[in-house]
Amino acid sequence: MKKIFFTVVILTTVITTQAQKELQTFKKINKEVLKNSQAYATLKHSGETIGHRLTGSANGAKAEQYAYDLFTKYGFKDVQFQPFEVVSWSRESVSFSIRNNGVEQTYKAVTLAHSPVSVDLQHAEIVDLGNGLEADYLQNPDKAKGKVVFASLGLLPNSPAGTKNLHRSEKTALAIKYGAKGIILFNGVKGGILLTGTASVTGDLIPIPAVNISNEDGWVIKELLNTRPLQVSIKMKNHSGPIKARNVIATLPGKKYPNEKIVIGGHLDSWDLANGAIDNGIGSFSIIDIARTFKALNLKTDRTIEFVMFMGEEQGLLGSTHYVENAIKSNTLENVVYMVNYDMAGNAIGFTAGGRKEADAFFKSVGELVKQVDTAFPNQSGAGGAGLHSDHEPFMLQGVPTASSSSRMDRKIYDCYHADCDATNLIDPSWMVNQVRFASMFLYALANAKELPAKKMSDEETKQFLINANLKEALKIAGDWRWND
């Protein structure tokens, strides 16, 4: 009995000592970031000197070099470009008009990415498909054939309880599946805001034009469609061709398990309507500043950390997919033990485990330790849910555990998602300071954990995980469901 008692005492003492050491490091991180964070300053400077960061453009190449130079400036000796070559897309021009009782009216519209390079669609009939979900088509499977689908980007008011929305690319894929010759998606955000983004589930060109119009114009057209037939004319020019882009990788070698690698990444690229401050400057420049913090404090970790700036996320997860495919080919994916993704992440209020419930306790315990440094930290940490359409996805589909953070930022900023108002003035600098200090603490804890909170899943375990997360339908639409059922 005494032996058991003394063993418990020794283990408790060891755990307490480890926690105290970690707490002291957290305090150092907190002090360093509060005093010296460069995240907002570098984001602002890049916006002023580069502008948007569209993959494959001259601006995109400048952004890649900018990130490389920052990593080097902050003391990383092993900084690399990871080049990849893909067929990419960029917009040129678009015109959009509606014929109502013989009268033509022009509306503002934005082309959705991967629409055809040349379109001259004249006076095609429009059909209202509600939310643009499969259930809407199944009511009359031939309704969209040879017509232009009109649908809401968000879920319409009074949609059936439990209705799960789809991504714009998945709605476009359904329109193509049911024989439509075009798709119009109207924004859910008020204020005349136009949204862009890819309409392709694969990153390849789609065979039909896809456009976004404003919320206000969308409701006008929807009301008209309730009373009379309407025709649409769409003319557009776009460019598609091979481009070269580069992920940027800075490595901090692990001292105890150097072959176990934690990838902390975010996409550096943005769309071209603004400078992409929220999507995803706030995430990517925070990650670069996390790297700066680790170097400034000369922090050592048991596991290797790769700080990765992915390009091509907006055009179909191009950079992260290349990273994973390259790792599979080189038999190094097994070395990636965790992927931490920060996309539109700022002002962290907790850490999320990407739906991996077994990691819940670890994430909450790290949050409690963070709370000892700053009692205002809410620690809304836990398993969270699994989702798609960001750079964690290619890793998750291979069974790699993923993580991110919950954010507390002004909800109004999300109105400018993929829009021409996504600029630096949306951001409160304190959001980036908080993101860097709390995310740095979490990364340090994860990289030094005695045991990782979640392990890589087998192929069968991954399949079941995705089914349980209700992701099978979306993955099948995208052609990313690699199982035979």
pLDDT in tens, 47-67: 999 999 999 999 999 999 999
Nearest Cα residue to 429 out of 371, 346, 372: 346
pLDDT at 327: 98
How high is the pLDDT of residue 303? 98
Please say whether the beta carbons of 221 and 230 come within 8 A.
yes
Residue 82 CA to residue 78 CA, distance in Å, equals: 12
What CA–CA distance (Å, rounded) separates 80 from 64? 11
What are the structural domains of the chain? 27-78+253-478 (3.40.630.10), 89-239 (3.50.30.30)
- CA 384 vs. chain centroid, Å, equals 16
CA-based angle 153:156:160, to the nearest 5?
125
Phi and psi of 461, rounded to 5°? -65, -40
C-beta separation of 97 from 106 below 8 A: yes
Over its length of 485 residues, how does the chain's per-residue pLDDT go in tens digits? Answer: 555 554 444 434 445 777 899 999 999 999 999 999 999 999 999 999 999 999 999 999 999 999 999 999 999 999 999 999 988 899 999 999 999 999 999 999 999 999 999 999 999 999 999 999 999 999 999 999 999 999 999 999 999 999 999 999 999 999 999 999 999 999 999 999 999 999 999 888 999 999 999 999 999 999 999 999 999 999 999 999 999 999 999 999 999 999 999 999 999 999 999 999 999 999 999 999 999 999 999 999 999 999 999 999 998 899 999 999 999 999 999 999 999 999 999 999 999 999 999 999 999 999 999 999 999 999 999 999 999 999 999 999 999 999 999 999 999 999 999 998 999 999 999 999 999 999 999 999 999 999 999 999 999 999 999 999 999 999 998 899 999 98
pLDDT of the residue at 88: 85
pTM for the model stands at 0.89
CA distances from 405 to 26, 354, 436, 465 (A): 17, 10, 11, 20
HSE (CB half, 13 Å, CA atoms) of 254?
22
Q: What is the pLDDT of residue 350?
A: 98
Listing DSSP states for 40-90 in one string gives: HHHHHHHHHHT----TTSHHHHHHHHHHHHHHHHTT-S-EEEEEEEEEEEE
Q: Which two tokens stand for residue 167?
A: 């991504």
